[in-house]
Amino acid sequence: MTLRFAIALNGASFEAADWISAARQADEARLDFLTFDDSFGRSGPDAVLVASRVAPLTRHVGLVPVATTTHTEPFHLSTALATLDHVSRGRAGWQVRVSADPAEARLLGRRAPLDFDELFAEASDAVEVVRRLWDSWQDDAIIKDVATGRFIDRDRLHYIDFAGAYFSVKGPSIVPRPPQGQPVIAALTHQPQARERLDVDVYFVTPADVDSAAKIVRQLPAAKKVFADLMVYLDADQETAIRRRAATTSDAAVFAGTPAQLADLVAGWQPSGIAGFRLRPGSPADLTTITRDLLPELRRRGLFEPSSATTLRERLGLPAAVNRYQEAARA
């Protein structure tokens, strides 16, 4: 069984060409998906908008922007991400994030931050609202009946009628159901609340070694996909890579060495049960080394094979998304 590979992009550039160049590198190398980092407090473009900008210019790679639930209305999130899925023809995802930073709350002139339990309770409600809104249009809701002048079958649109402690949303969505039905939802699982409260498809985890990776996988639901985060500095010789790494610290393990040495590490971690790796390039040059040197080495060893799947859900081996309202109507 081969592994799946993703790249984490994190930059402050407002030049579209910088993001397009990185996305095209990943797309041409047939990587499985990209994540686009974001937070309210950082300097840089909105991740969902960046993903939407590169979507028409790529063909294969999945596009998974970070979007924070803490200060964002779930109705707006659902429409933006559904639109991304339409623009990318089924390659969209969403990395859920919460914000406990008082400075970020002040940027929006809003309340003081909640504690972590409440932040993740709010995020859980937001994910549920977004998922319901994606289902609020049945797949056959658009009929385009010229004879009667009807574009939509209103019986196939559904009010979601969600009322919770943080949101009250009636719906339906203003965007038709995404091509994937449910774009892939992911979360970084530093806090136990992320594992316990969030209904996501993919977990990003930060093990230190193969043993801790295996332990984490055993703690997570078997139906979910687990990706190990790894920050990487790659060079033709290990000494140069180590010098470039210098005193870099990260929440994830930091690797410095040659592409062949990284392939050795990947092979060593494969038995842990992870679905793949999300690599965090230490610099733009490391992204080039990943696509030019590492991936061919992984393919030579049988550790990676580009997928022919057209949607991100299919590529990750996730089940087809069943529309809850359509199933209820059939029943």
Comparing 210 with 155, the larger pLDDT belongs to 210
Q: Report the mean per-residue pLDDT for the chain.
A: 93
Band (331; pLDDT cuts 50, 70, 90): low
**How many domains are there within the chain?**
1
**pLDDT score of 308 more than 70:** yes
Model pLDDT for residues 150-190, shown as the tens digit of each residue: 788 888 899 999 999 999 999 899 999 999 999 999 999 98
pLDDT value at position 16?
96
Model pLDDT for residues 286-297, shown as the tens digit of each residue: 999 999 999 999
Q: Give the mean model confidence (pLDDT) for residues 135-158.
A: 85
Give the alpha-carbon dihedral of 144, 322, 169, 179, to 10 degrees: -50
Model pLDDT for residues 221-252, shown as the tens digit of each residue: 989 999 999 999 999 999 999 999 998 889 99
Range of the domain at 22: 4-100+181-322
Residue 217 domain-assigned (yes or no): yes
Cα diameter, the chain: 72
Q: Give the mean model confidence (pLDDT) for residues 200-205.
A: 97
> At a CB cut-off of 8 Å and minimum separation 6, what does 106 contact?
none
Residue 111 domain-assigned (yes or no): no
Band (306; pLDDT cuts 50, 70, 90): very high
- DSSP one-letter code for 182: S
**pLDDT score of 21 more than 90:** yes
Residue 152 domain-assigned (yes or no): no
pLDDT value at position 156?
87
**pLDDT score of 129 more than 90:** yes
| Number of neighbours of residue 316 by Cβ within 10 angstroms | 23
> At a CB cut-off of 8 Å and minimum separation 6, what does 278 contact?
5, 6, 7, 8, 35, 204, 227, 228, 229, 230
Residue 157 domain-assigned (yes or no): no
Alpha carbon distance 178, 175 (integer Å): 8
Residue 133 domain-assigned (yes or no): no
Helices assigned H by DSSP within 108-180 = 116-135
Residue 117 domain-assigned (yes or no): no
Alpha carbon distance 157, 12 (integer Å): 40
> What CATH code is carried by the domain that includes residue 83?
3.20.20.30
**pLDDT score of 329 more than 70:** no
pTM for the whole thing?
0.95
**pLDDT score of 149 more than 70:** yes
Residue 88 domain-assigned (yes or no): yes
Residue 134 domain-assigned (yes or no): no
CA 84 to chain CA centroid, Å, is 12
Model pLDDT for residues 76-126, shown as the tens digit of each residue: 999 999 999 999 999 999 999 999 988 888 887 766 778 889 999 999 999
The residue among 306, 329, 223 whose CA lies nearest residue 32 is: 306
Model pLDDT for residues 29-70, shown as the tens digit of each residue: 999 999 999 988 788 999 999 999 999 999 999 999 999 999
Using alpha carbons only, what angle is made at residue 154 by residues 160 and 311, rounded to the nearest 5 degrees?
Answer: 70
Band (193; pLDDT cuts 50, 70, 90): confident
